[in-house]
Amino acid sequence: MFVVSSATVKKHVGTVFSKHGGHPAAIVYAYDSGFVRPGG
């Protein structure tokens, strides 16, 4: 089992947001890159 602390997740999510222009831009990037799929 792979376990990641919430502090680690928060740090990495913050890094993604800062690199991609904030929360909305990070969401668009996640969909465009195929990391997230609609409805799932």
pTM of the model: 0.50
Question: CA 37, 40, 11 angle in degrees (round to 5)?
Answer: 75
The domain spans of the chain are 1-32
pLDDT of residue 27: 82
> CA separation (Å) from 40 to 1, 29, 36, 37?
22, 16, 7, 6
Closest of 40, 30, 1 to residue 21, by C-alpha:
30
The per-residue pLDDT for range 4-38, each reduced to its tens digit, is: 898 998 898 888 888 878 888 878 888 898 888 88
Q: DSSP string spanning 8-19?
A: HHHHHHHHHHHH
Q: How far apart are CA 24 and CA 16, in angstroms?
A: 11
